[in-house]
Amino acid sequence: MPGPIVAQKSPLVQNLPPGSYWWCACGHSKTQPFCDGAHKGTGFVPSKVELTEAKTVAWCGCKHSKNGAFCDGSHSKL
């Protein structure tokens, strides 16, 4: 299986309310950083993220983070 598509080489930072979010792991989604179902047939699946309180989130945009849906700076090595 080929690797994910790099959606962007920087994190996607958002202030979000509590709730459930589905992070796009494949890079194909048109609604980055969230899944829009474009992964179908790619072998990738989105990651569910539960926020229990409002917070600022730095979503991984390069899809190579070792920290799942959250940016760990991996984009700087691409």
- Cα separation, 30 vs 51, whole angstroms: 22
- The predicted model gives 15-29 an average pLDDT of 98
| pLDDT in the model for residue 2 | 82
Least confident of 1-5, 16-20, 29-33, 72-76: 1-5
- Cα separation, 25 vs 45, whole angstroms: 6
pTM greater than 0.75? yes
Domain locations along the chain: 12-72
Report whether pLDDT(57) > 80: yes
Distance of alpha carbon 27 from the chain centroid = 8
Query: How many CB atoms sit inside 10 A of residue 19's CB?
Result: 10
- Cα separation, 75 vs 49, whole angstroms: 21
- Collapse the DSSP code of 30 into the 3-class scheme (helix H, G, I; strand E, B; otherwise coil) and give the result: coil
Q: Each residue of 60-72: pLDDT tens digit?
A: 999 999 999 999 9
| pLDDT in the model for residue 48 | 98
